[in-house]
Amino acid sequence: MTYNLNRLSNCSWVEYTRSSTQTISDGSIITFDTKRTTGGDAISLNSSTGVLTLSSSRRYWVQASIAVERSS
């Protein structure tokens, strides 16, 4: 019987942010214009459309956090 198998993986951390605030409304596309990475992530970003392109030869875990400020 075999147990405790480990999968070795190389990991890269990637963070996308905006350099300025963005006003959005219903149906708006949220875009990012700044990429910070530890390198070798195989992700490309179209900053005008907001489309991220991921490599099919890699596995990804995606997490998002958006700060919202509502006007009074």
pLDDT tens column, 28-53: 888 888 889 998 888 988 878 878 89
**Residue 27, token pair as written in the block:** 């149906």
Confidence (pLDDT) at 54 = 92
If you average pLDDT over residues 44-66, what whole number do you get?
Answer: 86
Confidence (pLDDT) at 1 = 62
Average pLDDT over the chain, rounded to whole? Answer: 83
Distance (Å, rounded) from C-alpha 70 to C-alpha 72?
A: 6
Confidence (pLDDT) at 41 = 87
Decide if 31 contacts 59 (C-beta within 8 A). Answer: no
DSSP 8-state class, residue 20:
S
pTM for the full predicted model: 0.66
